[in-house]
Amino acid sequence: MGQMKFSKAKAYDQARKEFYELRHQEEVEQRVAREEALSTGAVFGKSALEVGMELESKTFEEWKVWAEQQVTLQEQARSAAYTGLGTQSSAADEESVSMDAVLNELEPDSVPGSRRGQEVRGGAAVHS
């Protein structure tokens, strides 16, 4: 068999087709092997997609808890601004949060899952 000369485009197209055929064949073989193993009682761990979804859900839940805490702190600061902290009883004083405490909570280290954190600018942290 003599050596055939292809243009770059034709050679690339031929190589691409061969690659896709081989990949398809491997995927079919893997799927058949998995189905055979499952039918004989094999148990596989979580797929990469399932692990990724669990990690994403965990991070989302952490952010949700953090956001709920921030809303609570902001509501407490807002109500404290309108009720006058100096006239409340000592039990109520312990429960209420000052504006400084809210702003301290929003410093860069308080934002979960973030190295740098969130920059606080002006009074935006306590206004809706």
Domain hosting 18: range is: 7-44
118 in the same domain as 56: yes
Higher pLDDT, 86 or 71: 71
- Give the residue-averaged pLDDT of 109-122: 56
User: Quick check: 70 and 112 in contact, CB under 8 A?
Assistant: no
55 in the same domain as 73: yes
- Give the residue-averaged pLDDT of 31-49: 92
Q: What percent of the chain has pLDDT over 90?
A: 49
77 in the same domain as 14: no
Collect all residues with Cβ–Cβ distance below 8 Å to 44 and sequence separation of at least 6. 34, 37, 38
Is 2 inside a domain boundary?
A: no
Is 1 inside a domain boundary?
A: no
Tell me what pLDDT residue 3 has.
Answer: 66
Q: Torsion over CA of 52, 54, 56 and 62, rounded to 10 degrees?
A: -150
Higher pLDDT, 37 or 102: 37
77 in the same domain as 25: no
Question: Taking all residues of the chain, what is their mean pLDDT, rounded to a whole number?
Answer: 78
71 in the same domain as 86: yes
Higher pLDDT, 128 or 83: 83
Comparing CA positions, the residue from 92, 91, 74 lying closest to residue 83 is 92
Tell me what pLDDT residue 111 has.
Answer: 59
Residue 73 tokens, joined: 């702190």
The yes-or-no verdict on residue 2 having pLDDT over 70 is no
**Angle, CA 10 vertex, CA 6 and CA 14 arms, to 5°:** 105
111 in the same domain as 55: yes
User: Quick check: 66 and 111 in contact, CB under 8 A?
Assistant: yes
User: Quick check: 62 and 113 in contact, CB under 8 A?
Assistant: yes
76 in the same domain as 34: no
Map residue 33 onto helix, strand or coil: helix
Query: Which of 26-40, 86-100, 104-118 holds the top average pLDDT?
Result: 26-40
Domain count for the chain, please give it: 2
